């Protein structure tokens, strides 16, 4: 089959770096997809040194009409290159784009077909998301699923803006329409790519959510962003970038959704306060209004993290996640 002559409906992008222990699960979840339309799979390896590259090449040999390896000779991330728009990829030919990082994996062989059918029937939708299961790499067991809602529905821009703390879904659920429009500069340089992209899509189109878990997100996987945020210096740097990004996004929205942006800003400031362990600022100073706006258990956890030693906080966090994993087992046994 002439790949160049094939009318590709969906381009799948998988990005990976030093994930030799995970990448096979990821690629198997992709090649096992059952669709009525042709797809292409671009696997970008950022100069891995642990054998990931060899696995990618193995799958490219096994599925030559499906998988296209995009291999870096030098690590781009260490050079400050971030975001899909800035890495070396061949031209994408699909009308839609699906995304899965190398440490996550799809579990439903009908995932692409389900999202494709919805997008075909709803041309106003620019991004389709779904619930995902969570596997805690540190605990070695499943946790509660990431679910934004118990029912299928469109998400409002307000919800998406506060998404990291009110809604739950993973980047492995992303299925988007290829419009050819580059991401505006207001949504670049956040230090993360998923959240600003979701906000942008909610402001210019419609974001749809499906409660059906069709993928697994690995929490605290080796080399993951969430694990790197345990370094207070990296955490503070990330929060500063996101706070700057929130300001730019709010200007892009021309003053709309002010309360949602204020909540998102307070949430990042609260995380920054915790990284600083600024108890006085939390109780009496500049972070007090943020804690009051966020409220609830999250504000309480921020207080606990500012008071207790980091080692104790991590043990408490581990216990909380264990309770979540026990809930998954109990639900499965019921």
Written as six digits, the tokens of 42 are 């671009």
* Rounded-to-integer distance, Cα 303 and Cα 273, Å: 10
Q: What is the pLDDT of residue 317?
A: 85
Q: What is the pLDDT of residue 258?
A: 97
Q: What is the pLDDT of residue 129?
A: 95
- Render pLDDT for 218-227 as a digit per residue (tens, 0 to 9): 988 887 887 8
How many other CB atoms are found less than 10 A from the CB of residue 140?
Answer: 8
Least confident stretch, 75-84, 105-114, 138-147: 75-84
* Rounded-to-integer distance, Cα 125 and Cα 234, Å: 35
Chain mean pLDDT for the chain: 90
- Render pLDDT for 154-189 as a digit per residue (tens, 0 to 9): 999 999 998 665 456 789 999 999 988 889 999 999
Query: Please, how many CA atoms are within 13 Å of residue 9, restricted to the half-sphere of its CB?
Result: 11
- Render pLDDT for 117-143 as a digit per residue (tens, 0 to 9): 999 999 999 999 999 998 999 888 888
- For the cut 50, the answer to whether the pLDDT of residue 85 exceeds it is yes
Give the 3-state secondary structure of residue 18: coil
- For the cut 80, the answer to whether the pLDDT of residue 145 exceeds it is no
> Are 214 and 132 contacting, i.e. CB atoms less than 8 angstroms apart?
yes
Per-residue pLDDT averaged across 201-220, rounded? Answer: 94
- For the cut 90, the answer to whether the pLDDT of residue 265 exceeds it is yes
* Rounded-to-integer distance, Cα 183 and Cα 186, Å: 8
Q: What is the pLDDT of residue 219?
A: 87
- For the cut 50, the answer to whether the pLDDT of residue 3 exceeds it is no
How many other CB atoms are found less than 10 A from the CB of residue 168?
Answer: 17
How many other CB atoms are found less than 10 A from the CB of residue 260?
Answer: 22
Per-residue pLDDT averaged across 297-301, rounded? Answer: 92
Q: Is 7 exposed, middle or buried (0-12, 13-18, 19+ CB in 10 A)?
A: exposed
* Rounded-to-integer distance, Cα 53 and Cα 39, Å: 22
Domains of the chain: 3-219 (3.90.550.10), 228-332 (no CATH)
Q: 319 or 108: which carries more pLDDT confidence?
A: 108
* Rounded-to-integer distance, Cα 149 and Cα 195, Å: 18
Q: What is the pLDDT of residue 274?
A: 94
Phi, psi of 243 (to 5 degrees): -65, -40
Least confident stretch, 133-137, 209-213, 219-223, 277-281: 219-223
- Render pLDDT for 41-61 as a digit per residue (tens, 0 to 9): 999 999 999 999 999 999 999
CA 43 to chain centre: 17
Q: What is the pLDDT of residue 1?
A: 39
Least confident stretch, 3-12, 21-30, 164-173, 181-190: 164-173
Residue 147's pLDDT band, with cuts at 50, 70 and 90, is confident
- Render pLDDT for 228-251 as a digit per residue (tens, 0 to 9): 888 989 999 999 999 999 999 999
- For the cut 50, the answer to whether the pLDDT of residue 99 exceeds it is yes
What is the DSSP annotation of 256-297?
Answer: TTHHHHHHHHHHHHHHHHHHHT-HHHHHTSTTHHHHHHH-HH
Q: What is the pLDDT of residue 331?
A: 56
> Are 133 and 212 contacting, i.e. CB atoms less than 8 angstroms apart?
no
Q: What is the pLDDT of residue 157?
A: 96
Alpha helices in 99-193 (DSSP H): 111-121, 157-161, 163-166
Q: What percent of the chain has pLDDT over 90?
A: 70
Per-residue pLDDT averaged across 211-220, rounded? Answer: 92
Q: What is the pLDDT of residue 323?
A: 81
How many other CB atoms are found less than 10 A from the CB of residue 233?
Answer: 8
Q: What percent of the chain has pLDDT over 70?
A: 90
Per-residue pLDDT averaged across 287-310, rounded? Answer: 94
CA 194 to chain centre: 5
Return the bridge partners of 99, or none.
13
Find where tokens 């409220």 sit. 295
Least confident stretch, 149-153, 175-179, 196-200: 149-153
Written as six digits, the tokens of 246 are 């929130």
Please state the pTM of the whole predicted model: 0.90
């Amino acid at each position: 089959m002439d790949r160049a002559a094939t009318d590709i409906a969906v381009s799948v992008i998988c990005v990976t770096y030093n994930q030799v222990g995970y990448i096979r699960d990821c690629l198997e979840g992709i090649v096992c997809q059952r669709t009525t339309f042709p797809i292409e799979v671009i696997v970008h390896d950022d100069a891995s040194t642990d054998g990931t590259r060899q696995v990618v090449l193995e799958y490219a040999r096994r599925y030559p009409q499906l998988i296209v390896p995009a291999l870096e000779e030098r690590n781009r991330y260490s050079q400050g290159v971030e975001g899909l728009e800035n890495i070396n990829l061949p031209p994408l030919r699909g009308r839609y784009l699906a995304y899965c990082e190398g440490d996550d994996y799809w579990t439903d062989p009908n995932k692409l077909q389900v999202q494709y059918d919805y997008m075909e029937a709803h041309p106003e939708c620019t991004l389709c998301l779904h619930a995902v299961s969570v596997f805690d790499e540190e605990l070695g067991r499943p946790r509660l699923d990431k679910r934004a809602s118990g029912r299928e529905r469109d998400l409002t821009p307000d919800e998406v803006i506060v998404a990291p703390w009110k809604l739950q879904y993973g980047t492995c659920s992303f299925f988007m329409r290829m419009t050819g429009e580059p991401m505006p500069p207001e949504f670049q340089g956040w230090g993360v790519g998923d959240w600003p992209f979701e906000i942008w899509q909610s402001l210019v189109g419609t974001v749809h959510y499906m409660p059906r878990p069709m993928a697994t997100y690995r929490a605290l996987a080796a080399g993951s962003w969430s694990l790197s945020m345990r370094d207070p210096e990296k955490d503070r740097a990330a929060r500063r970038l996101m706070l700057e990004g929130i300001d730019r996004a709010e200007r892009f929205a021309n003053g709309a959704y002010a309360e949602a942006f204020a909540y998102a800003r307070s949430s990042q400031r609260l995380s920054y306060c915790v990284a600083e362990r600024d108890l006085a600022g939390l109780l009496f100073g500049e972070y007090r209004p943020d804690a009051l706006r966020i409220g609830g258990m999250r504000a309480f956890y921020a207080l606990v993290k500012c008071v207790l030693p980091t080692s104790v906080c991590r043990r408490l966090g581990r216990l909380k996640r264990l309770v979540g994993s026990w809930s998954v087992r109990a639900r499965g046994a019921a």
